[in-house]
Amino acid sequence: MSDQEYEEAGQGPEMEIVHLLRAVVVDLGRHSARFAQRNGMHPTDVRALIVLMDAARAGKDTSAGQLGAALGLNSAGTTALVDRLERAGHVRRVRSERDRRKVTIEVDERAIALGLQHFGPLIDRAVGLLREYDERELAAIKGFLTGMQEAATQEGERADGH
């Protein structure tokens, strides 16, 4: 981004959308934070449940180590996280049969229901919004989001020296 482009930030139609996306990220973050606080959880706990439920939807088990890696926690932090979630009844620890060092984390059905109760209305609104668009418009939205996702992950790899 050149200095000149920065001077114009917030003015062009493209920059307006960039700022809008950032605002959406912030506001959705706040939405998650409210869910966390309302249920006596921390942001990390919510992120953990999302990771676990994503894996479950894909039909995969998640071990404690995988969960910690996905969240960027070390082993001690991961143990503390799972302790909190288990104490709150949101997940269960299950020793793996094959490799008895492993602990797979299972999400409790009530935690899923709790999440649906909070995020359901927001998802409904999103689906309702998207139903108003035709195929070309949906492709544009999808293309932009996909591009931003790639950019966000690639920028990270680039700057990390991978």
Q: Which residues contribute to the site for DNA (CB under 7 A)?
A: 42, 44, 63-66, 68, 72-82, 84, 93, 98-104
How far from chain centre, in Å, is Cα 137? 25
Contact between 53 and 42 under an 8 Å Cβ cutoff? The reply is no
Contact between 62 and 104 under an 8 Å Cβ cutoff? The reply is yes
Q: Which one of its own copies, DNA, none interacts with residue 89, CB within 5 to 8 A by kind?
A: none
Q: Which one of its own copies, DNA, none interacts with residue 149, CB within 5 to 8 A by kind?
A: its own copies
Contact between 63 and 102 under an 8 Å Cβ cutoff? The reply is yes
Choose which of 29, 65, 77, 89 interacts with its own copies (CB under 8 A).
Answer: 29
Cβ-based nearer residue to its own copies, 101 or 152? 152
Binding mask 50-89 for its own copies (x = CB under 8 A): x------x--------------x-----------------
Does position 10 bind its own copies by CB under 8 A?
Answer: yes
How far from chain centre, in Å, is Cα 115? 13
Closest CA to 10 of 145, 149, 20, 24: 20
The burial of 10, by beta-carbon neighbours within 10 Å (0-12 exposed, 13-18 middle, 19 or more buried), is given as: exposed
Dist. CA 8–CA 5, nearest whole Å:
5
Instruction: List interacting residues with its own copies (CB under 8 A).
Output: 1, 5-6, 9-10, 12-18, 20-31, 33-34, 38, 47, 50, 57, 72, 116, 118-127, 129-131, 133, 136-138, 140-149, 151-153, 155-156, 158-160
